[in-house]
Amino acid sequence: MVFPFVWMFSSSFKTSEEIYEMSLIPNEPTIANYEFIFKYSMFPRWFLNSMIVAVVTTISVLFFDSLIGYTLAKYTFPGKNIIFILILSTLMIPTEMLVIPWYIMVRQLGWMETYWSIMFPGMISAFGIFLMKQFMSTIPDDLLDAARIDGVSEFGIFIRIVIPLVKPALATLAIFNFVGNWNAFLWPLIVAQTPKMYTLPVGVSYFSSENLTRWELIMTGAAVSTIPLIIFFIIFQKQIVKGIAMSGLKG
């Protein structure tokens, strides 16, 4: 299972002469490929773009999904069930169907070549709303009522009481969104039309076709786009495994 990863990393430390040799451990390990990528290509910019996109959309999803989940779990108001069903039904719409209208919208609104155009479709996630609603319905109403009697505002209850209680669910959601946005390919490929606005996956794809024979650079690019996720994974591995398991047990 891990062989392709090992190969990717080992190749990224090989010289262009050694790259076609089948040795797993480079004879003369070098960081020249990393130096090249960071000094003479637009990788640093793509890295930054990916970071901005993944971080901003994740913050937005955490805020809105927990707010919507909370409202749907803890308030009674006309139209609640319809709203919940409508939001859940969007899970069935494939992104591929929406990209053409989105592209037309982005062009008409003059958002081409902006971060906003890459990020706006992912600012709220229906899966996250479902997850947060499930979690928040387990919070006892008495707790919220007690806060109301103490004079805490409705928004204050959400921020100061509800949010701290659902941290594990927030962590799961954060991981899913960060990974999902970091790895997203189709939509960034469509809207990022000049190299300046590429995200890492689009960059690797472009970089590779431009340097078709420079496998050592391609492998380094692939490794660079993977490293942040590996770090992320090592820190949050328990939550990731739990989160994936949770995503399957909802059915």
Partner 1 sequence: MGQKRIVTAYVFLAIPLVFYIVVRFYPMIYAFWLSFTNWRLISPKKDFVGFDNFVKLFKDKVFTTSLWNTIKYVTFGIPLVIVLSLFLATTLNRVRHLQWFYRLLYVMPYITPLVAVSWVWRWIYQRPPAGILNNVLMAFGLDAQPFLSSMNQSLPAIVVTTVWVNLGYCIIIYLAGLQTIPQEYIEAAEIDGATSRQSFFKITLPLLNPITVFLVVTQSITFLRIFTQVYNMTDQGSGGPLNATKPLVLYIYQKAFRSFDMGLASSATVILFMLIMGITLIQLLVLNKRVQY
CB of 196 to partner 1, least distance (A): 19
What is the helix (H) or strand (E) element at residue 54, kind and residue range?
A: helix 43-74
Classify 113 in phi/psi space as left (phi over 0), alpha (psi -120 to 50) or beta.
Answer: left
CB of 223 to partner 1, least distance (A): 7
CB of 48 to partner 1, least distance (A): 16
Closer to partner 1 by Cβ: residue 28 or 97: 97
d(CA 142, CA 149): 10
Kindly state the tokens that stand for 29: 């390990």
**Cβ partners under 8 Å of residue 103, min gap 6:** 190, 191
CB of 183 to partner 1, least distance (A): 4
Closer to partner 1 by Cβ: residue 36 or 103: 103
Concatenated DSSP letters for 68-105? Answer: HHHHHHH---TTHHHHHHHHHHGGGS-HHHHHHHHHHH
Closer to partner 1 by Cβ: residue 31 or 86: 86
CB of 243 to partner 1, least distance (A): 9
User: What number of other Cβ atoms are within 10 A of residue 143's Cβ?
Assistant: 12
* Lookup result for tokens 């606005």: 197
Closer to partner 1 by Cβ: residue 30 or 247: 247
Closer to partner 1 by Cβ: residue 97 or 164: 97
CB of 11 to partner 1, least distance (A): 8
Closer to partner 1 by Cβ: residue 29 or 185: 185
Q: Residue 217: exposed, middle, or buried by beta-carbon count in 10 A (0-12, 13-18, 19+)? A: buried
d(CA 130, CA 60): 16
